[in-house]
Protein backbone atom coordinates (compact mmCIF):
# COMPACT_ATOMS: atom_id res chain seq x y z
CA UNK A 1 0.00 0.00 0.00
CA UNK A 2 2.78 2.35 0.91
CA UNK A 3 4.64 1.45 -2.28
CA UNK A 4 1.51 2.09 -4.35
CA UNK A 5 0.98 5.46 -2.67
CA UNK A 6 4.61 6.37 -3.23
CA UNK A 7 4.38 5.36 -6.87
CA UNK A 8 1.27 7.50 -7.35
CA UNK A 9 2.97 10.45 -5.71
CA UNK A 10 6.04 10.04 -7.88
CA UNK A 11 3.88 9.75 -10.99
CA UNK A 12 1.94 12.88 -10.03
CA UNK A 13 5.17 14.77 -9.46
CA UNK A 14 6.51 13.56 -12.80
CA UNK A 15 3.35 14.63 -14.63
CA UNK A 16 3.46 18.04 -12.94
CA UNK A 17 7.12 18.51 -13.86
CA UNK A 18 6.38 17.41 -17.42
CA UNK A 19 3.46 19.84 -17.69
CA UNK A 20 5.66 22.69 -16.47
CA UNK A 21 8.41 21.72 -18.90
CA UNK A 22 5.93 21.59 -21.78
CA UNK A 23 4.55 25.00 -20.84
CA UNK A 24 8.05 26.45 -20.69
CA UNK A 25 9.23 24.84 -23.91
CA UNK A 26 6.10 25.01 -26.07
CA UNK A 27 6.73 27.51 -28.81
CA UNK A 28 8.01 31.05 -28.35
CA UNK A 29 6.80 34.59 -27.96
CA UNK A 30 8.46 37.82 -29.12
CA UNK A 31 7.47 41.36 -28.21
CA UNK A 32 8.36 44.02 -30.79
CA UNK A 33 7.94 47.78 -30.31
CA UNK A 34 7.90 49.80 -33.52
CA UNK A 35 9.13 53.34 -34.21
CA UNK A 36 11.36 53.83 -31.14
CA UNK A 37 8.87 55.90 -29.17
CA UNK A 38 9.96 57.48 -25.90
CA UNK A 39 7.29 55.58 -23.95
CA UNK A 40 9.00 52.29 -24.80
CA UNK A 41 11.90 53.35 -22.59
CA UNK A 42 9.88 55.15 -19.93
CA UNK A 43 7.00 52.66 -19.55
CA UNK A 44 7.50 49.35 -21.39
CA UNK A 45 11.14 48.84 -20.45
CA UNK A 46 10.70 49.08 -16.63
CA UNK A 47 7.73 46.70 -16.73
CA UNK A 48 9.48 44.05 -18.80
CA UNK A 49 12.74 44.46 -16.88
CA UNK A 50 10.85 43.70 -13.65
CA UNK A 51 9.96 40.28 -15.05
CA UNK A 52 13.24 39.65 -16.88
CA UNK A 53 11.58 39.79 -20.31
CA UNK A 54 13.59 40.93 -23.38
CA UNK A 55 12.09 42.54 -26.47
CA UNK A 56 12.98 43.90 -29.89
CA UNK A 57 12.61 47.58 -30.75
CA UNK A 58 12.31 48.72 -34.37
CA UNK A 59 14.20 52.00 -34.79
CA UNK A 60 13.65 54.55 -37.57
CA UNK A 61 17.31 55.30 -38.20
CA UNK A 62 17.13 58.87 -39.51
CA UNK A 63 14.85 59.90 -36.65
CA UNK A 64 17.18 58.48 -34.01
CA UNK A 65 20.14 60.24 -35.61
CA UNK A 66 18.28 63.54 -35.86
CA UNK A 67 16.75 63.42 -32.38
CA UNK A 68 13.11 64.01 -31.43
CA UNK A 69 11.50 64.50 -28.01
CA UNK A 70 8.76 61.96 -28.78
CA UNK A 71 11.31 59.25 -29.51
CA UNK A 72 14.12 57.53 -27.65
CA UNK A 73 17.61 58.97 -27.62
CA UNK A 74 20.79 57.05 -28.41
CA UNK A 75 21.67 56.60 -24.69
CA UNK A 76 18.16 55.28 -23.98
CA UNK A 77 18.34 52.76 -26.81
CA UNK A 78 21.79 51.73 -25.58
CA UNK A 79 20.29 51.08 -22.14
CA UNK A 80 17.79 48.67 -23.67
CA UNK A 81 20.56 46.80 -25.49
CA UNK A 82 22.57 46.48 -22.28
CA UNK A 83 19.51 44.87 -20.67
CA UNK A 84 19.27 42.23 -23.42
CA UNK A 85 16.98 43.92 -25.93
CA UNK A 86 17.55 43.74 -29.68
CA UNK A 87 17.69 46.79 -31.95
CA UNK A 88 16.16 46.20 -35.38
CA UNK A 89 15.96 48.54 -38.36
CA UNK A 90 12.51 49.96 -39.01
CA UNK A 91 13.64 51.76 -42.13
CA UNK A 92 15.54 54.96 -42.70
CA UNK A 93 12.52 57.26 -42.99
CA UNK A 94 9.60 54.81 -42.45
CA UNK A 95 8.35 54.65 -46.06
CA UNK A 96 6.40 51.81 -47.69
CA UNK A 97 7.93 50.00 -50.70
CA UNK A 98 4.93 50.76 -52.91
CA UNK A 99 5.19 54.53 -52.33
CA UNK A 100 8.78 55.09 -53.52
CA UNK A 101 11.10 53.49 -56.13
CA UNK A 102 11.78 49.85 -55.30
CA UNK A 103 15.49 49.66 -56.09
CA UNK A 104 18.58 51.58 -57.14
CA UNK A 105 17.79 51.01 -60.81
CA UNK A 106 14.60 53.07 -60.52
CA UNK A 107 16.07 56.02 -58.59
CA UNK A 108 17.24 58.35 -61.36
CA UNK A 109 15.01 61.34 -62.16
CA UNK A 110 14.40 61.67 -65.88
CA UNK A 111 13.55 64.64 -68.08
CA UNK A 112 14.79 67.21 -65.59
CA UNK A 113 14.23 70.68 -67.01
CA UNK A 114 15.24 74.16 -65.89
CA UNK A 115 12.52 76.31 -64.39
CA UNK A 116 11.70 79.18 -66.71
CA UNK A 117 13.44 82.36 -65.60
CA UNK A 118 15.88 80.62 -63.22
CA UNK A 119 18.79 78.67 -64.69
CA UNK A 120 19.78 77.25 -61.29
CA UNK A 121 16.45 75.64 -60.43
CA UNK A 122 15.01 72.49 -62.03
CA UNK A 123 11.75 70.60 -62.02
CA UNK A 124 10.80 67.04 -62.93
CA UNK A 125 7.82 64.75 -62.87
CA UNK A 126 7.95 62.11 -60.15
CA UNK A 127 5.96 58.93 -60.63
CA UNK A 128 5.50 57.84 -57.01
CA UNK A 129 3.19 58.81 -54.18
CA UNK A 130 5.92 59.66 -51.68
CA UNK A 131 9.49 60.96 -51.75
CA UNK A 132 12.00 59.69 -49.18
CA UNK A 133 14.72 62.11 -50.28
CA UNK A 134 16.88 63.31 -53.20
CA UNK A 135 20.60 62.84 -53.73
CA UNK A 136 23.01 64.59 -56.08
CA UNK A 137 26.09 62.53 -56.90
CA UNK A 138 25.67 60.77 -53.56
CA UNK A 139 25.05 63.92 -51.51
CA UNK A 140 21.71 64.43 -49.80
CA UNK A 141 19.62 67.45 -50.75
CA UNK A 142 17.66 69.23 -48.03
CA UNK A 143 13.87 69.02 -48.07
CA UNK A 144 12.09 72.41 -47.80
CA UNK A 145 8.45 73.36 -47.33
CA UNK A 146 7.88 75.41 -50.48
CA UNK A 147 9.22 76.18 -53.93
CA UNK A 148 10.20 79.79 -53.17
CA UNK A 149 12.67 78.71 -50.45
CA UNK A 150 14.21 76.18 -52.84
CA UNK A 151 15.04 78.94 -55.33
CA UNK A 152 17.25 80.67 -52.76
CA UNK A 153 18.79 77.52 -51.23
CA UNK A 154 21.43 75.51 -53.12
CA UNK A 155 21.21 71.78 -52.45
CA UNK A 156 17.49 71.70 -51.65
CA UNK A 157 14.19 70.40 -53.01
CA UNK A 158 10.42 70.60 -52.60
CA UNK A 159 7.99 67.84 -53.53
CA UNK A 160 4.45 68.82 -54.50
CA UNK A 161 2.60 65.55 -53.95
CA UNK A 162 -0.68 66.95 -55.29
CA UNK A 163 0.70 67.28 -58.81
CA UNK A 164 3.51 64.74 -58.52
CA UNK A 165 6.28 67.18 -59.32
CA UNK A 166 9.59 67.88 -57.59
CA UNK A 167 11.42 71.23 -57.75
CA UNK A 168 15.09 71.30 -56.79
CA UNK A 169 18.14 73.52 -56.80
CA UNK A 170 21.24 71.34 -57.24
CA UNK A 171 24.65 72.10 -55.82
CA UNK A 172 26.13 71.99 -59.32
CA UNK A 173 23.44 73.14 -61.80
CA UNK A 174 25.69 72.89 -64.86
CA UNK A 175 26.28 69.18 -64.33
CA UNK A 176 22.65 68.04 -64.12
CA UNK A 177 21.62 65.37 -66.59
CA UNK A 178 19.30 62.37 -66.48
CA UNK A 179 20.29 60.21 -63.51
CA UNK A 180 22.39 62.85 -61.70
CA UNK A 181 19.54 63.55 -59.28
CA UNK A 182 18.23 60.39 -57.67
CA UNK A 183 15.12 59.71 -55.57
CA UNK A 184 15.80 57.48 -52.56
CA UNK A 185 14.57 53.94 -53.16
CA UNK A 186 13.30 51.35 -50.72
CA UNK A 187 16.41 49.30 -51.33
CA UNK A 188 18.49 52.30 -50.19
CA UNK A 189 16.15 52.71 -47.20
CA UNK A 190 16.94 49.18 -46.09
CA UNK A 191 20.68 49.44 -46.65
CA UNK A 192 21.29 52.94 -45.29
CA UNK A 193 19.13 52.40 -42.22
CA UNK A 194 21.42 49.54 -41.22
CA UNK A 195 24.49 51.69 -41.88
CA UNK A 196 23.16 54.65 -39.85
CA UNK A 197 22.32 52.40 -36.91
CA UNK A 198 25.82 50.91 -37.08
CA UNK A 199 27.31 54.42 -36.97
CA UNK A 200 25.30 55.06 -33.82
CA UNK A 201 26.62 51.86 -32.25
CA UNK A 202 23.81 49.41 -32.97
CA UNK A 203 24.29 46.32 -35.13
CA UNK A 204 20.90 45.63 -36.72
CA UNK A 205 20.51 42.17 -38.24
CA UNK A 206 16.70 42.23 -38.23
CA UNK A 207 14.50 44.40 -40.45
CA UNK A 208 10.96 45.31 -39.34
CA UNK A 209 8.90 46.49 -42.29
CA UNK A 210 7.38 49.99 -41.93
CA UNK A 211 3.57 49.92 -41.78
CA UNK A 212 3.79 46.09 -41.84
CA UNK A 213 3.89 46.29 -45.65
CA UNK A 214 6.05 43.91 -47.66
CA UNK A 215 6.43 42.58 -51.21
CA UNK A 216 8.08 39.51 -52.71
CA UNK A 217 10.59 41.67 -54.60
CA UNK A 218 11.62 43.50 -51.45
CA UNK A 219 11.91 40.19 -49.64
CA UNK A 220 14.37 39.00 -52.26
CA UNK A 221 16.43 42.19 -52.00
CA UNK A 222 16.49 41.97 -48.20
CA UNK A 223 18.24 38.58 -48.16
CA UNK A 224 21.67 40.13 -48.72
CA UNK A 225 21.10 42.88 -46.14
CA UNK A 226 19.48 41.26 -43.10
CA UNK A 227 19.44 37.92 -41.31
CA UNK A 228 15.64 38.02 -41.07
CA UNK A 229 12.66 40.26 -41.78
CA UNK A 230 9.49 40.74 -39.72
CA UNK A 231 6.28 42.10 -41.21
CA UNK A 232 2.50 41.91 -40.56
CA UNK A 233 -0.09 39.26 -41.28
CA UNK A 234 -1.82 38.88 -37.89
CA UNK A 235 -0.82 35.23 -37.69
CA UNK A 236 1.57 32.92 -35.89
CA UNK A 237 4.66 31.27 -37.38
CA UNK A 238 4.88 27.51 -37.80
CA UNK A 239 7.57 25.15 -39.17
CA UNK A 240 7.33 24.65 -42.91
CA UNK A 241 4.97 27.61 -43.32
CA UNK A 242 7.18 30.58 -42.48
CA UNK A 243 9.83 32.34 -44.59
CA UNK A 244 12.83 33.73 -42.68
CA UNK A 245 12.46 37.01 -44.59
CA UNK A 246 8.67 37.11 -44.11
CA UNK A 247 8.10 36.41 -40.40
CA UNK A 248 4.51 37.27 -39.46
CA UNK A 249 3.39 39.48 -36.58
CA UNK A 250 0.10 40.03 -34.82
CA UNK A 251 -0.76 43.69 -34.17
CA UNK A 252 -1.79 44.60 -30.62
CA UNK A 253 -4.46 47.32 -30.69
CA UNK A 254 -5.37 49.81 -27.98
CA UNK A 255 -8.74 48.10 -27.46
CA UNK A 256 -7.15 44.66 -26.92
CA UNK A 257 -7.24 43.61 -23.28
CA UNK A 258 -4.44 41.69 -21.57
CA UNK A 259 -6.81 38.71 -21.41
CA UNK A 260 -7.26 38.81 -25.20
CA UNK A 261 -3.51 38.72 -25.84
CA UNK A 262 -3.03 36.03 -23.18
CA UNK A 263 -5.63 33.87 -24.92
CA UNK A 264 -3.91 34.41 -28.27
CA UNK A 265 -0.52 33.52 -26.79
CA UNK A 266 -1.90 30.39 -25.15
CA UNK A 267 -3.42 29.26 -28.45
CA UNK A 268 -0.42 29.89 -30.74
CA UNK A 269 2.52 29.30 -28.39
CA UNK A 270 1.33 26.67 -25.95
CA UNK A 271 -1.38 24.73 -27.80
CA UNK A 272 -0.02 24.97 -31.36
CA UNK A 273 3.70 25.08 -30.51
CA UNK A 274 4.16 28.13 -32.75
CA UNK A 275 6.17 31.31 -32.65
CA UNK A 276 4.00 34.33 -31.94
CA UNK A 277 5.46 37.77 -32.65
CA UNK A 278 3.47 40.69 -31.27
CA UNK A 279 3.58 44.15 -32.83
CA UNK A 280 3.24 47.03 -30.36
CA UNK A 281 4.05 50.72 -30.55
CA UNK A 282 3.74 53.15 -27.66
CA UNK A 283 2.95 52.12 -24.08
CA UNK A 284 1.29 54.19 -21.35
CA UNK A 285 1.10 57.38 -23.43
CA UNK A 286 -1.12 58.61 -26.28
CA UNK A 287 1.84 59.34 -28.58
CA UNK A 288 2.13 56.90 -31.46
CA UNK A 289 -0.20 54.53 -33.29
CA UNK A 290 -2.44 52.20 -31.25
CA UNK A 291 -0.74 52.66 -27.85
CA UNK A 292 -1.29 49.95 -25.23
CA UNK A 293 -1.80 50.70 -21.56
CA UNK A 294 0.88 50.07 -18.95
CA UNK A 295 -1.68 48.08 -16.95
CA UNK A 296 -2.27 45.70 -19.87
CA UNK A 297 1.44 45.21 -20.49
CA UNK A 298 2.09 44.64 -16.79
CA UNK A 299 -0.68 42.04 -16.53
CA UNK A 300 0.54 40.28 -19.66
CA UNK A 301 4.16 40.27 -18.47
CA UNK A 302 3.13 38.82 -15.10
CA UNK A 303 1.23 36.04 -16.86
CA UNK A 304 4.22 35.28 -19.11
CA UNK A 305 6.47 34.94 -16.10
CA UNK A 306 3.98 32.75 -14.24
CA UNK A 307 3.17 30.51 -17.23
CA UNK A 308 6.80 29.86 -18.17
CA UNK A 309 6.32 30.83 -21.83
CA UNK A 310 9.65 31.25 -23.59
CA UNK A 311 10.17 34.90 -24.58
CA UNK A 312 12.94 35.75 -27.04
CA UNK A 313 14.10 38.57 -29.28
CA UNK A 314 13.58 38.26 -33.03
CA UNK A 315 17.24 37.38 -33.61
CA UNK A 316 17.21 34.64 -30.96
CA UNK A 317 13.84 33.36 -32.10
CA UNK A 318 15.00 33.12 -35.71
CA UNK A 319 18.05 31.09 -34.67
CA UNK A 320 15.86 28.66 -32.75
CA UNK A 321 13.07 28.52 -35.33
CA UNK A 322 15.12 28.24 -38.51
CA UNK A 323 18.15 26.47 -37.06
CA UNK A 324 21.23 28.67 -37.22
CA UNK A 325 21.62 32.03 -38.95
CA UNK A 326 23.27 33.92 -41.73
CA UNK A 327 25.55 36.90 -41.39
CA UNK A 328 24.34 40.04 -43.09
CA UNK A 329 26.94 41.23 -45.58
Judge whether 217 and 234 are in contact, CB under 8 Å.
Answer: no
pLDDT digits (tens, 9 = 90+) for 273-285: 999 999 999 999 9
pLDDT at residue 23, as a whole number: 43
- The rounded percent of the chain whose pLDDT value lies above 90 is 88
Q: What's the whole-number average pLDDT of the chain?
A: 91
pLDDT digits (tens, 9 = 90+) for 112-137: 999 999 999 999 999 999 999 999 99
pLDDT at 328 over 70: no
> For the chain, how big is the Rg over CA atoms in Å?
24
In this structure, the strands spanning 228-233 and 206-208 are parallel
- Sheet with strand 181-183: strands edge to edge: 139-140, 134-136, 181-183
Q: Is the dihedral of CA 6, 12, 14, 17 positive or negative?
A: negative
pLDDT digits (tens, 9 = 90+) for 182-225: 999 999 999 999 999 999 999 999 999 999 999 999 999 999 99
pLDDT at residue 177, as a whole number: 87
Confidence band for 178, pLDDT divided at 50, 70 and 90: confident
CA distances (Å), 294 to each of 37, 197, 207, 291, 307, in order? Answer: 14, 28, 26, 9, 20
The domains located in the chain, with CATH, are: 25-96+188-322 (3.20.20.370), 108-183 (no CATH)
pLDDT at residue 324, as a whole number: 67
Helical packing angle, 258-265 and 294-307, nearest 10°: 30
Q: Is the dihedral of CA 210, 211, 212, 217 positive or negative?
A: negative
- The rounded percent of the chain whose pLDDT value lies above 70 is 90
pLDDT at residue 26, as a whole number: 54
pLDDT digits (tens, 9 = 90+) for 18-30: 444 444 445 999 9
pLDDT at residue 295, as a whole number: 98
| Mean pLDDT across 248-269 | 98
pLDDT digits (tens, 9 = 90+) for 65-90: 999 999 999 999 999 999 999 999 99
| Mean pLDDT across 29-34 | 98
pLDDT digits (tens, 9 = 90+) for 299-324: 999 999 999 999 999 999 999 999 86
pLDDT at residue 10, as a whole number: 44
CA 58 to chain centroid = 4
Amino acid sequence: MKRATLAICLLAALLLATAKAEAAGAGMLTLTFDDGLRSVHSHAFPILQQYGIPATTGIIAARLKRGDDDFMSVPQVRELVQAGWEVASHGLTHRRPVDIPEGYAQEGLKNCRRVEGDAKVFEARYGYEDLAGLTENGRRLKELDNEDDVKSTPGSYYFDELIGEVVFRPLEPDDVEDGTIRAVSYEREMEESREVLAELGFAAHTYITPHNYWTTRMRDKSRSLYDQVVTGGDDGNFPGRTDRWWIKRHVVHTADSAETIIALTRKVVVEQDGWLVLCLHGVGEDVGWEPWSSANLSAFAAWLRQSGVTVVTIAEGAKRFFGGGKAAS
